[in-house]
Amino acid sequence: MNLRAAFEHRGRLVTLTFVFSLLSAIVVQSKPPEPKGIFYQDLHFFGFITEAHGRTIGSFTDINFLSSDLLLVTVNTRMYGSFEPSFSDQPISKLLLFDISRGQLVKSMEMPVEKAAGSVRATRGGQFVLLNESGLHRCSLDLECSLLFLTRGPLFSSPQGARLVVGGNAKTPQKLLDGEMNEVDQFPWGNLNVVPGDRGLLIRQDGKLHIRFAGRPDQPLSFGGGGIWPEARFLNQETIADFESDKALAVARGDGTVLFRVPVTARWELAELTTASSGSRFCLHQAGYTIQNSIINFLDIDNGRPFNFESVSIISVDTGKVVLEERWDPRPYVGLLAAPALSPDGRKLAIIRKGILEVYDAK
């Protein structure tokens, strides 16, 4: 190689190195910032279970922000024997109210809670609703609860907690409730499932998804509608989200216009949405198996082994930008992985990781 060719070769190497460094810097800068932990609490002291030791145990713990600083955790577990009823609220559950700003438990109580995820939901003004075998209860910040009426689950809430839909299990009708917990509509059991928004409804029928606003004809959507119960959610009064395929979550306006798509990796294992009452952000919670784990365990067709990855992504409803992202190995764990919770403004994230309650600043 002559001297000129050597300089040209070196110049190309320098240019490629510069470009690679620039791209690397862009990738690093484009990653969401590391979240700042602001509260931690070991839930094992309150009966939270992470190892079954050969027993069959279901875990249905719920997390709900009742305000920006008040966080309600419902430690809700059930042991299964050779024969168990399909629906139960026993054994009794623990409700724990934490003040994040003060870093302490401020109130607790024990109460029967239906052994199903989502049996406790925040509503408005610091209140929440709780479902058990007696029916639906309305509860205050003082953890005092009063029975509203007898109903089955499941229980769905709109982002601001202004409306609820409850019922559907055991061939019962679904009931639509307003902010005062009055029944305003009823949907007979059958080939129809309803999820509430603060103004509209998402309706799944015959495997198709529709959106309904008062005074307008139902708007059919070109995506979504899969799942036993609707996976679709209102993110705010005019924006909805549902899984377009096993690889993508579609976020759309009420007229069905898709605003952006979010990549999905674990649709058929665990993929669920959590909303914030402000409607500014939502959280995509996923869990499943890494590619390496699937290859090593390729004969495990029943997927009976525990998930080896779990992730949360907080996403801006306006832009589709990921503002916080965390991924980890959830093992050991028992039963269902608890869904994360977003504070009303979407700027705090609460998760349970290996039995530890963790709250992060997502500003």
Q: Is the peptide bond before 154 cis (omega within 30 degrees of 0)?
A: yes
Residue 265 makes CB contacts below 8 A (sequence gap 6+) with 286, 288, 311
For residue 62, the model assigns a pLDDT of 98
For residue 303, the model assigns a pLDDT of 59
Distances (CA, A) of 343 to 119, 235, 283, 311: 18, 14, 11, 18
The percent helix, strand, coil of the chain (3-state, each to 5) is: 10, 40, 50
Residue 35 and residue 256: Cα distance in Å, rounded? 33
Q: Which two tokens stand for residue 317?
A: 């409803």
Q: What is the pLDDT of residues 240-261, one digit of tens each?
A: 999 999 999 999 999 999 999 9
Residue 320 makes CB contacts below 8 A (sequence gap 6+) with 251, 259, 260, 261, 262
Name the amino acid, one letter, at 145.
C
8 Å CB contact between 166 and 175: yes
Strand ranges, E, within 54-200: 57-59, 62-65, 70-75, 77-79, 93-99, 104-111, 120-122, 128-132, 135-139, 145-149, 155-157, 164-166, 174-177, 183-187, 192-196
For residue 20, the model assigns a pLDDT of 41
CA angle 241, 121, 149 (to 5 degrees): 120
Eight-class DSSP state of 35 = P
For residue 18, the model assigns a pLDDT of 44
What three-state secondary structure class fits 4?
A: helix
For residue 84, the model assigns a pLDDT of 77
Q: What is the pLDDT of residues 192-211, one digit of tens each?
A: 899 999 999 999 988 889 99
Domain ranges of the chain: 32-361
Q: pLDDT below 50 — which residues of the chain?
A: 1-29
For residue 215, the model assigns a pLDDT of 87
Dihedral class, residue 256 (left if φ above 0, else alpha if ψ from -120 to 50, else beta):
left
pTM of the model: 0.88
Kindly give the pairing relationship between strand 258-263 and strand 155-157: unpaired
Residue 341 and residue 63: Cα distance in Å, rounded? 6
For residue 19, the model assigns a pLDDT of 40
Eight-class DSSP state of 198 = S
32-361: what fold? Methylamine Dehydrogenase; Chain H (2.130.10)
CA-based nearest residue to 153, from 177, 138, 133: 133
Residue 301 and residue 349: Cα distance in Å, rounded? 34
